[in-house]
Chains A and B, each alone.
Chain A
């Protein structure tokens, strides 16, 4: 038994505090928090991209974000539908779009792309397709010359050691016998190296354009043509601003998963199914189709495994798995649905990479699966307690 003599607080008389429906407390994670966290991790990846590709990358990122924001404001005025939390979403769209572009892309590509992302992706499709990717594939089609991997521009630049962040990609030079980013190149004083993108090498390989060496097919690819595996982990290969750095993307994804804003099932299935598809799908070598490339062993080395590994880290797929596929609006509602969705993305990406000619295969794969989200959601309903079946 106890007595309290004094009370410091005042008892309320306001009507408002006595009404309202349950629940009276909320979970605390609102859409604003979700988008903010996504922006945070995307800018981390972008930051690393700026270190790798220099100020040109920063210009592209800033330009795409700016244009996205301006386009979104314009849309709000035109459609007369101001909404809460739209600005952060436009920033995120612009940022993600910028991450998919290579730093060598001209600025007008970034401008057009993010305008399209907002106006068509967000305005017309209403976010049901990933808006940043809508912008990306459209500019890919418009600006073939500056974005394409094949054709005139076969090599793309990466800054050399000692020139990170401050170097200029225009002063990059092709390297004859590239041994890896860390291996010193005595013959050149260029600020960057111009080499082939790993994705492109893989494509060339599957089209049987890598000459076999001594009857070995995979050995020359892994030994001579592709950069060392460490380079693809740290992103020291040419490619999109946010595409190359596997490690940074994994950190970003793990942080999102930790906050609960990305389900772990999604990136895991994307990567697992891509690895599986790359392990199984036949490669056209020497006028013959080789099934199960993963089992390939040449000169006592498991080159097949290396081949599959490069498929995962060579570009786009990591960015797609961790930052693009998991878009809250455009991915399936349930974890079960996301398993199917992720598997589709992984398999389609590898399929298009091996046999297709479209570039940006991972982006196309995500867009195709986005279009199927409605169906997946309908098929993957939860059984209701008490209603049998």
Chain B
């Protein structure tokens, strides 16, 4: 198979230009690549990106997790045998960081147990047997404080990167004094189409909510980063944002352009020190999925009970983007969407950064982006590095993966090497391109974790 040849370093990215001549040139040629490295991957989106988002009706027991992260404490609000309505609280938050969870449909609680989630392992869950009537709570319970933060917390809006409840992300950002908000709709990983479908179907609401969030954050600039490839979407969003203070930045989408650090480098030309966060530079990057969920909470005043996710891969019969109830077992989801042949690999999230499903009984959570099912594994037989340099050229941050891989067997590393290890974004591109099939990204991740654990006690003493 040929390899996309796009490794030439390019100059700085140009955000929409003022001069008419330049901007028509920009339209014609498209943006240049905005950072060194990166690769245009075969994106496998042609089918799923054309199908509208479909609501998957609940027709089996749901294992709704009662909390969104291992360390965020909640207490159950229901008991076994209770009948709940759609949107009713299943658990209440017990701390400021935590958020409540809600029932995706009406039915009976048959059991309180635990459910496997790919990102957090086992979480407490309520098993909800739907009655098929979809009876909803009367809207709006009325809280004493109507601020955006409270609404987000009460409706249980979750952000996938950083993986925390959206209200606490916003509170932290306000405390850090952010000046720029970037809404990240790049979605450069193959197969994923949830963001793209949301851009097509909810374009107006996205702009509205971005404005609201920008107000709440008190930022001076709000940028919506879109893939330039989808020109009609870009045009539509530009028309929609006309006269608002959301800027539309149409960007080339070589692979890890969706990583916040790379995005910030491309859009604002500010570099973040290895291991740092974008917040250190007064920038907040929100994934589009979080903005869409915020729209549901703020504009419709509905709790978050569903997530929009892609179900794709060559073992899936009807690949597409679905609105799935939180707590749906993956296995059930796969069988509903239809399988072709045997599944040999199940991945939650994108093919390059996603996690293997881990357990057969995994359930959909608020931050699940995709379920990818492949009918064949890709066996890899590593051989020694052949010095082709592809990984070095394509790495978005410019580190040298094969030399870092040698650290694996070393007891110690220098500060420079440590900062290189920390600079790695875990994008997986090096392992993807390596013709010697070395597990570069994995090894770097593992080595970094080991050294970090080693160093921590040293720092304390």
B340: chain A residues at CB < 8 Å are 8-9
Q: Is A77 an interface residue (CB 8 A)?
A: no
Q: Which of B92-100, B144-152, B172-180, B431-439 contacts A (4 or more CB under 8 A)?
A: B431-439
The one of A6, A18, A83, A337 in contact with B383, judged by C-beta atoms closer than 8 angstroms, is: A83
Q: Which chain A residue lies CB-closest to B380? A: A26
A381: chain B residues at CB < 8 Å are 398, 400
Question: Which residues between 95 and 129 of chain A lie within 8 Å of chain B, taking CB atoms?
Answer: none
Interface size class of chain A, counting residues whose CB lies under 8 Å from the partner chain: 35 or more
Question: Which residues between 20 and 53 of chain A lie within 8 Å of chain B, taking CB atoms?
Answer: 20-31, 33-34
In the complex with contacts A7-B338, A84-B383, A385-B265, A22-B441 CB distance below 8 A: yes
Shortest Cβ distance from B277 into chain A, in angstroms? 11
Q: Is A17 an interface residue (CB 8 A)?
A: yes
In the complex with contacts A9-B338, A382-B36, A387-B419 CB distance below 8 A: yes
Q: Are A27 and B3 in contact (CB under 8 A)?
A: yes
The one of A11, A16, A330, A333 in contact with B331, judged by C-beta atoms closer than 8 angstroms, is: A11
Shortest Cβ distance from A256 into chain B, in angstroms? 11
A30: chain B residues at CB < 8 Å are 435-437
Question: Which residues between 305 and 323 of chain B lie within 8 Å of chain A, taking CB atoms?
Answer: 315, 317-318
Q: Which of B21-29, B156-164, B246-254, B352-360 contacts A (4 or more CB under 8 A)?
A: B352-360
The one of B336, B353, B387, B436 in contact with A22, judged by C-beta atoms closer than 8 angstroms, is: B353
Q: Are B388 and A9 in contact (CB under 8 A)?
A: no
Q: Are A333 and B389 in contact (CB under 8 A)?
A: yes
Cα distance A111–B340 when bound, in Å? 54
Q: Is B115 an interface residue (CB 8 A)?
A: no
Q: Is the interface of B mostly helix, strand, loop or mixed?
A: loop
In the complex with contacts A11-B331, A19-B358, A29-B372 CB distance below 8 A: no
Q: Is B399 an interface residue (CB 8 A)?
A: yes
The one of B272, B345, B358, B423 in contact with A24, judged by C-beta atoms closer than 8 angstroms, is: B345
The one of B274, B392, B431 in contact with A23, judged by C-beta atoms closer than 8 angstroms, is: B431
Question: Which residues between 245 and 265 of chain A lie within 8 Å of chain B, taking CB atoms?
Answer: 257-260
Shortest Cβ distance from A389 into chain B, in angstroms? 11
B1: chain A residues at CB < 8 Å are 27-29, 33
Q: Which chain A residue lies CB-closest to B399? A: A384
In the complex with contacts A27-B432, A385-B423, A259-B3 CB distance below 8 A: yes
A22: chain B residues at CB < 8 Å are 347, 351-356, 426, 428, 431, 441-442
Q: Which chain B residue lies CB-closest to A34? A: B435
Q: Which chain B residue lies CB-closest to A333? A: B389
Shortest Cβ distance from B294 into chain A, in angstroms? 25
Q: Are B441 and A18 in contact (CB under 8 A)?
A: no
The one of B54, B57, B389, B397 in contact with A385, judged by C-beta atoms closer than 8 angstroms, is: B397
B3: chain A residues at CB < 8 Å are 27-29, 259-260
Cα distance A9–B383 when bound, in Å? 35
A337: chain B residues at CB < 8 Å are 389
Q: Is A209 an interface residue (CB 8 A)?
A: no
B37: chain A residues at CB < 8 Å are 382
In the complex with contacts A3-B57, A27-B433, A382-B398, A17-B343 CB distance below 8 A: yes
Q: Are A10 and B437 in contact (CB under 8 A)?
A: no
Shortest Cβ distance from B216 into chain A, in angstroms? 29
Q: Is A151 an interface residue (CB 8 A)?
A: no
In the complex with contacts A8-B340, A11-B339, A328-B386, A386-B2 CB distance below 8 A: no
Q: Which chain B residue lies CB-closest to A15? A: B360
Q: Are B423 and A386 in contact (CB under 8 A)?
A: yes
Q: Are B273 and A26 in contact (CB under 8 A)?
A: no
The one of B2, B54, B337, B431 in contact with A26, judged by C-beta atoms closer than 8 angstroms, is: B431
Cα distance A3–B322 when bound, in Å? 13
Q: Are B338 and A4 in contact (CB under 8 A)?
A: yes
Q: Is the interface of A mostly helix, strand, loop or mixed?
A: loop
Q: Is A286 an interface residue (CB 8 A)?
A: no
Q: Are A2 and B54 in contact (CB under 8 A)?
A: yes
As a 0/1 sequence over residues 384 to 425 of chain B, the CB contacts with chain A under 8 angstroms (1 = contact) are 001111001101111110000000000000000001100100
Cα distance A372–B190 when bound, in Å? 39
As a 0/1 sequence over residues 266 to 302 of chain A, the CB contacts with chain B under 8 angstroms (1 = contact) are 0000000000000000000000000000000000000
Shortest Cβ distance from A358 into chain B, in angstroms? 27
Q: Are A328 and B360 in contact (CB under 8 A)?
A: no
Q: Is B70 an interface residue (CB 8 A)?
A: no
Cα distance A382–B36 when bound, in Å? 9
Cα distance A10–B359 when bound, in Å? 16
Q: Which chain A residue lies CB-closest to B39? A: A27
In the complex with contacts A22-B428, A26-B432, A8-B352 CB distance below 8 A: no
A85: chain B residues at CB < 8 Å are 383
In the complex with contacts A384-B423, A386-B274, A387-B274, A16-B377 CB distance below 8 A: yes
Q: Are B389 and A7 in contact (CB under 8 A)?
A: no
The one of A16, A334, A388 in contact with B392, judged by C-beta atoms closer than 8 angstroms, is: A334
Q: Are B331 and A1 in contact (CB under 8 A)?
A: no
Q: Is B450 an interface residue (CB 8 A)?
A: no
Q: Is B80 an interface residue (CB 8 A)?
A: no
Shortest Cβ distance from A376 into chain B, in angstroms? 11
As a 0/1 sequence over residues 330 to 352 of chain B, the CB contacts with chain A under 8 angstroms (1 = contact) are 01001111111111111100011
Cα distance A333–B359 when bound, in Å? 40
Q: Are B392 and A382 in contact (CB under 8 A)?
A: yes
Q: Is A332 an interface residue (CB 8 A)?
A: yes
Q: Are B383 and A31 in contact (CB under 8 A)?
A: yes
Cα distance A304–B51 when bound, in Å? 64
Q: Is A383 an interface residue (CB 8 A)?
A: yes
Task: For the complex of A and B, list the 7 residue pairs with the smallest distance between their C-beta atoms, beginning with the closest.
Answer: A9-B339, A333-B389, A382-B398, A23-B428, A28-B1, A260-B3, A385-B397
25 of the cross-chain contacts (CB-CB < 8 Å) are A1-B54, A4-B336, A9-B343, A12-B344, A13-B360, A17-B346, A17-B377, A18-B346, A22-B347, A22-B351, A24-B354, A26-B437, A27-B432, A27-B435, A28-B1, A28-B3, A29-B1, A31-B436, A329-B386, A333-B387, A381-B400, A382-B400, A385-B398, A387-B273, A387-B420
Beyond A335-B7, A382-B37, list 14 extra A-B contacts (CB 8 Å): A8-B317, A16-B344, A22-B431, A26-B380, A28-B1, A30-B437, A83-B383, A328-B386, A333-B393, A382-B36, A385-B35, A385-B272, A386-B273, A388-B271
